[in-house]
Structure 1
């Protein structure tokens, strides 16, 4: 990363999606921001960890990608992992949780039972289950079919991740609970959610600092301009609440 960058965002993708998920945001970033999109170990061309479920090993692998002078933006599982890594790495300027609460399973969202069934299905048939998830997470977008076409154009149809890494990611979704970490965080924490995110419980969406209109769980696909404006506002003033910022007047 460039030492001259004054405002740096590190964007972290979610389960089953590599860093190409962030490509739709590229045309909208202000020129003064530096944006990094590292892949997690085991995704794209990055080697998987020997023990993919180890958060300590994940922190060691991601240390250079997650500097303390940047704003970390974690989408979905990426947000859950970024929150957990606060115990292992120097705190960032701010942490943004996009489409994720302190933990993933919720009785009014994706229940523990539903997640267990999904994990079982993935063990039986990873390819079909991954394809099902790609459709499922887009259910709250204004046009799910169009969103799925855009997602396929970005990521293709093949799973671009190591099977053991994906299995470990499902374990993290089931087991990581960041409630304690986020109760007394070492940095400002911003929560963003799509207004119609089908993977989040209504109460979790309502607690978000900013709810993206016209978006479900995948605002990088459905609302890239609105999402870019919100993230740019945080990068410029990470300690300021988004409620204090007029996102519609940003360039």
Structure 2
């Protein structure tokens, strides 16, 4: 099913931020079947639990992709599936979301800890703040944040907290190094959540994969500039399909 792409959304905001990108991809190639798969609704922060559910629910032999947390999960699922994954693409997705000495190109631990504490105290207010952070750097940041919030599902605080703990636990470095299929990783130039410095850091780790930096865009660049992102993905899929 090399003509099928499954996209996984990011934390807290549901599938709506990826819908314009999916439509743009279908418009570029009507033969490409694009499916947005909601993230599991789990209270567990164990990556294996999330991957088990995704692996059980998603068809094999497809392209896997995702935005932010969804991209990190797609990377882990891709290496788990090996030859049963046609290829991997990630959108504004870091290899580690929370910084550590061996991967400084990420969110500082103190910032993440304060954000998680805010979510535990007031999940609704934290989601609003998150939408603002996702849209920071966009040409119309407030308008984009309103769009993000408008499509967000009503999630239970326990699920949101489990997702944050999962974000802190995931590390995609070994997975990306182990996965032998084609890879495309797109980053946003003005991302307030995943620093643009993650792009050259990934290139230093994996010089043979495709990496792109979309200038003057926010973390929510898939919603902000769906046609530009779709064109980059379509070119990658076409090139990889010719190999």
Query: CA 1:222/1:123 → structure 2, altered by over 3 Å: closer, same or farther?
Result: same
**What does residue range 165-176 of structure 1 map to in structure 2 within 5 Å?**
165-176=159-170
Aligned-pair Cα RMSD in Å: 2.4
Structure 1, unaligned runs of 5 or more: 43-48, 242-251
Number of residue pairs aligned between Structure 1 and Structure 2 = 227
Q: Where do residues 86-235 of structure 1 align in structure 2 (5 Å cutoff)?
A: 86=78, 88-90=80-82, 91-106=84-99, 107=104, 109-153=106-150, 155=151, 159-206=153-200, 207=203, 209-235=211-237
For structure 2, the 5+ residue unaligned runs are 204-209
Q: Secondary structure at the match of 2:164?
A: helix
Question: Is the 1:104–1:174 contact (alpha carbons within 8 Å) kept by the matching residues of 2?
Answer: yes
1:78 has 2:74 as partner? no
CA contact (8 A) 2:47 2:166 kept: no
TM-score of the two chains, using structure 2 as the length reference: 0.83
- Report the alpha carbon displacement of residue 205 of structure 1 after superposing the two structures with TM: 3.2
User: Aligned with 2:98: secondary structure?
Assistant: coil
Is 1:18 aligned with 2:11?
no
Structure showing the higher helix proportion among its residues: 2
Distance 1:6 1:141 in 2: 33
**Normalising to structure 1: TM-score of the pair?**
0.81
Deviation, 1:17, is: 1.5
**TM-aligned CA deviation for residue 7 of structure 1:** 1.1
Structure-1 separation of matches of 2:79 and 2:105: 28
Which shows bigger deviation, 99-108 or 109-118?
Answer: 99-108
